[in-house]
Amino acid sequence: MTGADRWLLPDGIDEILPPQARRIEQLRRHLLDYLDNCGYDFVIPPALEYLDSLLTGTGKDLDLRTFKVTDQLSGRLMGLSADTTPQVARIDAHSLAPEGVSRLSYCRTVFHTRPASLLASRTPTQIGAELYGEATISGDIEIISVMLSLLTEAGIEGVHLDLGNVGVFRALADSAGLSDEQQSELFDLLKLKCQTDTLAWVERELNDEHLIEAFNLVAGMQGNASALTDKFTRLAELVPVAAQQLSDMTQAIDALTQRFPQVSITCDLTELRGYDYHTGLVFAAYVPGYGDAVAQGGRYDETGADFGRARPATGFSADLKVLARLGQRQFEAKETVAVPQSDDPALWQAMAELRAEGYRVVTELDGEIAGASKRLAQDNGQWTLVNA
């Protein structure tokens, strides 16, 4: 490594400089205040945990994205957190262990060995909220509503919401008695969203005409949410064990359409993101001109059981840095006050008073202060605020 190279940051690792760093911090405070207003208590999980705890209840993808180190005290493997959600689930199950509904929020940097996508950072600032203890669709509706409102608070415009349901695919797979290998093959076909190939596979592997029709319906079930009602009804008739999941989706669509008429809502039952982790409704928010989801989440009821305390759970997360870059939320800039160098104790007292009032007060160490609109000047022994 040459002298010039030693200052280069690794690929996918970014540093935030003024004034963007200030904007991100202002947005962080604003959004956490909003989550607090919604009843979500702030928690700060550790950045480093024992690996077996950190990866409990998660899929293989998270394991591959996790930086691993050896603890010099115990000799055990530790990991840098790549996703806050499993840690918050542990906090709910053990550290807090509340009865009934629990609402938790967080905002911190997580670390990825590889970026999640071409647009993603390896050190996203993950902000999110988790809702525990509510098994009905009311919990999903609340968490999606909080997510969409959070995006509004960030100044994100033109939001499109995409809904899926891992539970529907699980119900169909169980009804068909698919092996793990068959589920994996079908999962890969559905990800490609090729209805013809999916139907050919189903007709080759299954004999039940109702299940063949059901899987064919799922493979083609993408589009405007309100236009899929008849398909939902038919799918529930073909596979009754999926009826509740489909009814919940319909209820969620109706509630969200009423609450957020400006948000376009589509459904995609081939969207099986986090299949090894999620258990029910999954969702993601998109905006024009950006190729990744700006926020996403879903239900993950089984994770708590891995910590010894099964709890219904749903939540969402987003990268605060992405929200700051794409959002239009504006914050009032502080007024800057320039102060001359002086040993007068009264000057320091005047500076402290102005800072307490919210001014940005800066001493002129090397000349004029750029951007200063006011300055402290001495008049008859008194320090007064005047225009710069």
Q: How many Cβ atoms are within 10 Å of 39's Cβ, its own excluded?
A: 13
| Torsion from C-alpha of 225, 223, 269, 88, nearest 10 degrees | -60
CA–chain centroid gap for 133, Å, is 20
To 5 degrees, how large is the angle CA 30–CA 32–CA 33? 65
Please choose, from the candidates 226, 216, 213, the residue with its C-alpha nearest in 3D space to the C-alpha of residue 190.
Answer: 216
Burial classification of residue 197, based on how many CB atoms lie within 10 Å of its CB (0-12 exposed, 13-18 middle, 19 or more buried)? middle
Cβ neighbours for 41, distance < 8 A, ≥ 6 positions apart: 103, 104, 105
Give pLDDT tens digits for 343-373: 999 999 999 999 999 999 999 998 888 889 9
Cβ neighbours for 263, distance < 8 A, ≥ 6 positions apart: 148, 159, 160, 161, 256
Residue 240, CB half-sphere, CA atoms under 13 Å: how many? 0
Please choose, from the candidates 107, 186, 131, the residue with its C-alpha nearest in 3D space to the C-alpha of residue 303.
Answer: 131
pLDDT band at 241 (very low <50, low <70, confident <90, very high): very high
Q: Which residues pair with 313 in a beta bridge?
A: 132
Please choose, from the candidates 199, 181, 180, 179, the residue with its C-alpha nearest in 3D space to the C-alpha of residue 189.
Answer: 199
Helix (H, G, I), strand (E, B) or coil at 361: strand
Do the Cβ atoms of 287 and 318 come closer than 8 Å?
A: no
Number of residues in the chain? 388
Stretch 80-98: mean pLDDT: 91
Cβ neighbours for 273, distance < 8 A, ≥ 6 positions apart: 164, 282, 284, 296, 298
Stretch 226-255: mean pLDDT: 93
Give yes or no for residue 55 having a pLDDT over 80: yes
Cβ neighbours for 316, distance < 8 A, ≥ 6 positions apart: 128, 129, 143, 144, 146, 147, 283, 295, 296, 297, 298
Give yes or no for residue 3 having a pLDDT over 70: no
Give yes or no for residue 226 having a pLDDT over 90: no
> What percentage of the chain has pLDDT greater than the value 70?
98
Question: pLDDT at position 312, please?
Answer: 94
Stretch 129-134: mean pLDDT: 97
Distance, CA of 261 to CA of 259 (rounded, Å)? 6
- The owner of tokens 């529930």 is 236
Question: pLDDT at position 21, please?
Answer: 96
pLDDT band at 58 (very low <50, low <70, confident <90, very high): low
Stretch 368-385: mean pLDDT: 91
Burial classification of residue 378, based on how many CB atoms lie within 10 Å of its CB (0-12 exposed, 13-18 middle, 19 or more buried)? middle
Give pLDDT tens digits for 163-202: 999 999 999 999 999 999 999 899 889 888 888 999 999 9
| Torsion from C-alpha of 77, 81, 84, 86, nearest 10 degrees | -20
Q: Which residues pair with 337 in a beta bridge?
A: 361, 374
Mean pLDDT estimate for the chain: 92
Give pLDDT tens digits for 13-30: 999 999 999 999 999 999
Structure tokens at 212: 């063949």
pLDDT band at 59 (very low <50, low <70, confident <90, very high): low
Give pLDDT tens digits for 252-284: 999 999 999 999 999 999 988 877 788 999 999
